[in-house]
Amino acid sequence: MLNPETLSKAKEKEIFKQFMEDYNTGTLPNEKYYDIKQYEQRMTAVRMGETVDKSDSYDFMKDLEAAKSSQRRSAAASSEQLMDRSRLEELRKLQTDRVQKEKMQRLGMDVSENLGVRLEDKLR
């Protein structure tokens, strides 16, 4: 409710710091700062004369369920990224084959083109 043109730079910075603190901690005074779309829908309903159910209560179970589903998704994603022991050993052997192939080529030896190459049918 302040006119920014009448404020000094120091006062403007101080007010902005307070705003940043409130924004980052989620303690802004009005709901419109968090979900503008929902706020606009509610205000449109109020303007149209509809009764709007205002609930200021905090739903702990809803938050808990959201956290659990997020945790499940992250656990599923991490399990897809892990490799089993046989695949790790295969990749390790592949790396040693590549090093061996490079050494043999430096010595001028004939080397098979398939040495150190991973074929798609071996992966499955």
- Which tokens sit at 80? 């897809």
What 3-state DSSP class applies to 55? coil
**Domain contains 60:** no
**Domain contains 68:** no
**Domain contains 2:** yes
Task: Give the pLDDT score at 71.
Answer: 82
**Domain contains 66:** no
Task: Give the pLDDT score at 124.
Answer: 47
Number of H helices, E strands in the chain: 5, 0
- Using CB atoms within 10 Å of the CB of residue 39, give its burial: 0 to 12 exposed, 13 to 18 middle, 19+ buried: middle
The Cα–Cα gap between 22 and 111 comes to: 67
Residue 24 · residue 37 · CB < 8 Å: no
**Domain contains 75:** no
Task: Give the pLDDT score at 14.
Answer: 92
Task: Give the pLDDT score at 62.
Answer: 75
Task: Give the pLDDT score at 43.
Answer: 86
Task: Give the pLDDT score at 73.
Answer: 78
Range of the domain at 25: 1-50
The Cα–Cα gap between 25 and 35 comes to: 15
Please count the structural domains in the chain: 2
pLDDT tens for the chain, 124 residues long, are 788 888 899 999 999 999 888 888 878 877 777 788 888 888 888 888 877 666 666 667 777 887 888 888 777 766 666 677 888 888 888 889 888 888 888 888 887 777 777 766 554 4
